[in-house]
Structure 1
Amino acid sequence: MLSIKDFSEMAHLSAQTLRYYHAEGLLVPARVDEQTGYRSYSFDQVADAMLISVLREAGLGVKQVRRALDEPDAAPGLLREHHAEVQRRRAEQDEAIRTAGDLLEAPPEPCLRRVPAMTVVSRLAPVTPLGWDRQEWDLTEAILRAATEDLLAAVRSCGATPAGTPWRMLAPGRASGAEGAFWLIQVPVLGGPPADVPQDAEVHRYEAAEELSITMPGRTSPAKYCTAIGRLLAYPLDEAFPDDDAFPDAAFPDIARLRHLVREDGVEFSVPVRSG
């Protein structure tokens, strides 16, 4: 039998960690003196300690390690699931690092531009959940991405050619209801209206307009959305249109017509400029 001190040195685990593993049922000593509480381990338990250490170093929690030890046949699958989750978190962290770098190197600022007229195919998207937590926000994003892909496929099947980045916006007059928010997916197309309109879709003309635009790097989030709106509203339009005949009254960004253009490197938020 090995004393806890000798076993600790052989297994490279502190006595405190061994006591913790004993309490959690991961590594129960071969013998515990009833009077002194002194723990003794068998030499064979060094291999058990080694496996526990490797699983813990791989990032598995105590409950996962216990399951892997109790169900050896399920352990490989458990490790694969954990590996997939680690890769997902690493991908998210890598994206967050890239986004942080972009934000630090070049903080997003609004720009004013002229958007040309275009033909647009539009369709209402499925209702998305209300709320601002990360889970609901990600679910909304997944629903809208799928709806965009469906409309792009329908446009192509009608013989039309998408032109540029599709966008989504809260549906005018149907922004929200008790069950969630209504969105409008819009796909710009080359040329005039397509000969056949996709089911449940409409074709209309998007007139040329002055627009304010800001691009937030990385995937969208509630904080980026609110930051974009705040900076668009703060843009000094009075300085951009001094005594302009096209804007005889005070110019303002029409936030109700906010467009979300999802690109590979981020999300562009764009609003038409109106006169009051």
Structure 2
Amino acid sequence: MLSIKDFSEMTHLSAQTLRYYHAEGLLVPARVDEQTGYRSYTFDQVEQVMLITVLRQAGLSVQQVRRAVAEPDVAPALLREHTAQVQRQRREQDEAIRTARDLLETQPEPSVRHVPAMTVVSRTAPVTPLGHDRQEWDAAEEILTAATADLIKVVESCGATPTGTPWRTLAPGAALAEEAPSWLVHVAIVGEATTPAALPTDVEVQEYSGGDELSITMPGRTSIAKYCTAISRLFTYPIGDAFPDVGRLRHLVREDGVEFSAPIRRVDQ
């Protein structure tokens, strides 16, 4: 039998950690003296500690490790699930690092640009406004991305050619909506305009008149914080006797970030 001191030195686990593992039912001593409470271990338990230590170093929680040790058959599946989660977190961290670098180096600022007239195909997407938290926002983004891809397929199937970057806008009155679809996805097309008869009934073809817009590009994936920051910077950017019509704000999702672009309206218009 090994004392907790000897076992600690052999396994490189502190006595405090061994007591914690005992309390959590992860590593139960071979013997506990009823009078003194002293814990004793066996050499056979060193192998168990090796597995526990490796799994803990891999990032599994005590609860996950306890189950892996108690149920060896499910251990590989637990490790695969944990691996997928870690890889997802790493991708998110890498993206966050790139976004942070871009924000610190570029300091996004609004700029005025001219948008030409174009023919636009639009469709509603079944998403309610914005999302109340990160999970809802991400879920809405997935739906909008899928809706945009579907709209592009519709356009191409009708013989039209998509051009430029697709975008989305909040539907009129969307800020007050709770359950009704509140986003519109848009795709500009070139060539002959698609005939309404060839389109599904929920798709519209409109002419976008074009004009000057005030836009700002926020690096990385979209979020409610970036959305609010963009609106704030658009509102405070000096453009004389004019203002950005954020009620018609366009969200153009690009590979390197999201461009928020609002038509410029003159005060007398």
TM-score by length of 2: 0.95
Q: Secondary structure at the match of 1:16?
A: helix
Q: Secondary structure at the match of 1:172?
A: coil
CA positional deviation for 1:198: 3.9
Q: Which residue of 1 aligns with 2:202?
A: 200
Distance, in Å, in 2 between the alignment partners of 1:199 and 1:270 is: 28
Q: Which residue of 2 aligns with 1:40?
A: 40
Return closer, same or farther for 1:219/1:126 CA change in 2, 3 Å cut-off.
same
CA contact (8 A) 2:128 2:174 kept: no
CA positional deviation for 1:41: 0.2
- Partner letter of residue 161 of structure 2? T
Return closer, same or farther for 1:103/1:225 CA change in 2, 3 Å cut-off.
same
**CA deviation digits over 1:24-69, x for unaligned, max 9?**
0010000000000011000000000111000000000011001101
From the two aligned structures, give the one with the greater helix fraction.
2
Q: Gaps spanning 5+ residues in structure 2: where?
A: none
CA positional deviation for 1:159: 1.1
CA positional deviation for 1:181: 5.4
Q: Secondary structure at the match of 2:169?
A: strand
Distance, in Å, in 1 between the alignment partners of 2:130 and 2:225 is: 16
Q: Which residue of 1 aligns with 2:258?
A: 267
CA positional deviation for 1:200: 1.3
Q: Which residue of 1 aligns with 2:225?
A: 223
- Partner letter of residue 251 of structure 1? A
CA contact (8 A) 2:121 2:205 kept: yes
- Partner letter of residue 269 of structure 1? F
CA contact (8 A) 2:3 2:40 kept: yes
- Partner letter of residue 258 of structure 2? V
Q: Gaps spanning 5+ residues in structure 1: where?
A: 239-249
Distance, in Å, in 1 between the alignment partners of 2:12 and 2:174 is: 63
Q: Secondary structure at the match of 1:192?
A: coil
Q: Which residue of 1 aligns with 2:30?
A: 30
Distance, in Å, in 1 between the alignment partners of 2:59 and 2:254 is: 34
**CA deviation digits over 1:117-161, x for unaligned, max 9?**
011001111133664311111111111111111111111111111
Alignment of 1:239-250 (within 5 A): 250=241
- Partner letter of residue 183 of structure 1? W
CA positional deviation for 1:171: 1.1
Distance, in Å, in 1 between the alignment partners of 2:217 and 2:103 is: 11
Return closer, same or farther for 1:257/1:114 CA change in 2, 3 Å cut-off.
same
CA positional deviation for 1:191: 2.1
Q: Which residue of 2 aligns with 1:237?
A: 239
Distance, in Å, in 1 between the alignment partners of 2:91 and 2:70 is: 31
Q: Which residue of 1 aligns with 2:139?
A: 139
Q: Secondary structure at the match of 1:162?
A: strand
Distance, in Å, in 2 between the alignment partners of 1:175 and 1:37 is: 64
**CA deviation digits over 1:207-231, x for unaligned, max 9?**
1210001000000111100000000
Asked if 1:159 corresponds to 2:150, the answer is no
Distance, in Å, in 1 between the alignment partners of 2:38 and 2:124 is: 70
CA contact (8 A) 1:130 1:180 kept: no
Distance, in Å, in 1 between the alignment partners of 2:258 and 2:131 is: 20
Q: Which residue of 2 aligns with 1:242?
A: none
RMSD over aligned CA atoms reads: 1.3
Distance, in Å, in 1 between the alignment partners of 2:176 and 2:254 is: 25
Q: Which residue of 1 aligns with 2:3?
A: 3
**CA deviation digits over 1:60-84, x for unaligned, max 9?**
0011001101111000010000000
Distance, in Å, in 2 between the alignment partners of 1:130 and 1:236 is: 27
CA contact (8 A) 1:175 1:181 kept: no
TM-score by length of 1: 0.93
Q: Which residue of 1 aligns with 2:117?
A: 117
Distance, in Å, in 2 between the alignment partners of 1:74 and 1:100 is: 39
Q: Which residue of 2 aligns with 1:252?
A: 243
Distance, in Å, in 2 between the alignment partners of 1:180 and 1:108 is: 33
CA contact (8 A) 1:2 1:43 kept: yes
**Percentage identity across paired residues of the two chains:** 72
Q: Which residue of 2 aligns with 1:168?
A: 168
- Partner letter of residue 97 of structure 2? I
CA contact (8 A) 1:123 1:185 kept: yes
